[in-house]
Chains A and B, each alone.
Chain A
Amino acid sequence: MKITNEVRISDNGFVFNSKTGDSFNVNPTGLELTKLIAQGHDFDSIKNIFLEKYDLDDLTFEKDFYEFCALIKHHQITSQEDPLDFK
């Protein structure tokens, strides 16, 4: 899963997708996740970063991570060529 080339992410949580013309607001944790995905971190690496930083358990993070991934994929912010690729 990677952020598509047409997507630009500002530091204050504004996301613009020039492919679709849509723009979005992400909250601070959403912004952090998006940036980590953009930097190429995989799920385990992002999980470790979040568990270290936030008062959070691994199952809650996993649930929220995959829900967020489904949402950004739906908005064509990420592309996932292989439907079995969940990394």
Chain B
Amino acid sequence: MEKFKYVKPGMSKINAGMPSKFGLPVKQKIISGIDGIPVSALIEEYGSPLFVISEKTIRDVYGEAKRAFDTRYPKVQFAWSYKTNYLDAVCSIFHEEGSWAEVVSGFEFEKALSNGVNGSQILFNGPEKSRDDLIMAIENNACIHIDHFDELYLLIEITREIQKKARVAIRINLDAGIYPIWDRFGFNYENGEAWNAINRIMLAESLELIGLHTHIGTYIMAQAAYGIAASKLANLYMAIHRKFDYWLKYLDLGGGFASKNTLKGAYMPGSETCPSFDDYAEAISNALISSEIPHENLPVLFLETGRALIDDAGYLLTTVLANKRLNGGRRSMVIDAGVNLLFTSFWYNLGVFPTKEMDHAEETTIYGPLCMNIDVIRDAIVFPQVKTGDQLVIERVGAYNITQWMQFINYRPNVVLIDNDGKTHIIRKKESLATFKKVEFDPKRG
């Protein structure tokens, strides 16, 4: 006699009188493949866990952002934020699309140069620039965004020593209605510090002031704040012209655009609340075009958005290691990807999805594989029954994870790019013991 198909026994409590505030339950989203390649095939070939980057998504999202700004403002230049994801293959795609590089350390600067970026198309941000870094930047004709007076005076000193002019901008912190104000970076607009710095630079023969830069925060949901920031930069731009009869080349509004991920504690999903590129572009372009800057002297608008351009293109494929019932009755499961790979799981309720239709959804806690209590990928997610070995997909992990991940307890996994033709390529190889043997030395063993 043929046996019946077995389904895992399940039970769910009926919670009458507590309807979902979002209405009827939606159908469980399933991600069975990425850009047409089945998840199972990717894991079979490259192992689990596995980061997957979609070139098509990168180019589509970049195109969307560029169109939003290009149709509203005459001169726009994107600069790829290296710290968001500095895998060479990812940076190269952005450079192919026309992005300059935005770097915040000597390491990132060297990486940009090695990716073939012309030094004059590198924006050098950040509070940490060593003497050697600054010399490298000056020699390569980069745009150095000065963060503080000590850096300004160090630059004057270096340029006198090496007798070469530096192209500089200053970073400005300002009140755009976003609190707390990131006043640890740059010179303040409201108390006149920024104007003082500008005056000092304009008097320095070895420094050429070419732009103004601000970065009002991260995951900014209020596009109007960018309008305020742009207006304040426009005021300084005009003040410089009035006093020195000089037009700067660019205004840099930085990054900080939100991605569609859902912040922890958010009432609505990020995909519903995140402003579109059109929203940000409208706020910034309107502020600049309606400022007192004459249209023929409008500066180039630089944008350094990272998160919003790359988050959607990154996936983490993972496998279920175990199912557990906690003391309080709550269901939990252990997967093979932990918080050491997913730094953004500390900020977001990341979307975790099965790869096939499954039944019996129940509130579940998802743990990573680390022998550490903090290794929680999702505190509470309504998730169907899964078995050991089932594969899951975590979406929107393209930003900050592959740069802020940490080698801890286990090797970091392969990162694979699916190119525009649907072919897969390893763009960062899984670590092995040899990775560590190369850089560790035991004096007792010689």
Residues of A within 8 A of B (CB): 15, 22-30, 32-33, 50, 53-56, 60, 64-65, 67-68, 70-72, 74-75
Contacts and interface: CB of A to CB of B under 8 A. Distances in A.
A24 B12 contact: yes
Interface of B: 3-14, 16, 323, 325, 328-329, 359-360
B328 to A, nearest CB: 7
A74 to B, nearest CB: 3
Contact of B7 (A25, A29, A53, A67): A29
Given A27-B359, A74-B328, A55 B11 contact: no
A28 B7 contact: yes
Given A27-B359, A55-B3, A71-B325, A15 B11 contact: yes
Nearest to B7: A29
Contact of A54 (B4, B14, B323): B4
Contacts of B5: 54-55
Contacts of B11: 15, 24-27, 30, 68, 71-72, 75
17 contacts: A23-B16, A24-B11, A24-B14, A25-B12, A27-B11, A29-B8, A30-B11, A53-B4, A54-B3, A55-B3, A64-B8, A64-B9, A70-B325, A71-B325, A72-B11, A74-B329, A75-B13
A43 to B, nearest CB: 14
A30 B9 contact: yes
A53 to B, nearest CB: 6
A33 B11 CA distance: 11
Nearest to A55: B3
Contacts, number: 67
A30 to B, nearest CB: 4
B22 to A, nearest CB: 21
Contacts of A27: 7, 9-11, 359-360
Nearest to B360: A27
Residue from B9, B12, B16 with most neighbouring chain A CB atoms (10 Å) = B9
**Which 8 residue pairs are nearest across A and B when measured between Cβ atoms?**
A74-B329, A30-B9, A54-B6, A55-B3, A56-B6, A29-B9, A68-B9, A70-B325
B10 A26 contact: yes
Nearest to A72: B11
A55 B5 CA distance: 6
Residue from A25, A65, A71 with most neighbouring chain B CB atoms (10 Å) = A71
B4 A55 contact: yes
Contact of A23 (B6, B14, B328): B14
A25 B359 contact: no
Given A27-B360, A67-B323, A75-B329, A55 B10 contact: no
Given A53-B3, A71-B329, A26 B13 contact: no
B368 to A, nearest CB: 21
Nearest to A13: B11
Contacts of A23: 13-14, 16
Contacts of A25: 11-12, 14
A71 B324 CA distance: 11
Contacts of B8: 29, 64
Contacts of B16: 23
Contacts of A56: 3, 6
Nearest to B324: A67
Residue from B11, B13, B328 with most neighbouring chain A CB atoms (10 Å) = B11
A53 B310 CA distance: 50
A71 B332 CA distance: 12
Nearest to A70: B325
A54 B4 CA distance: 5
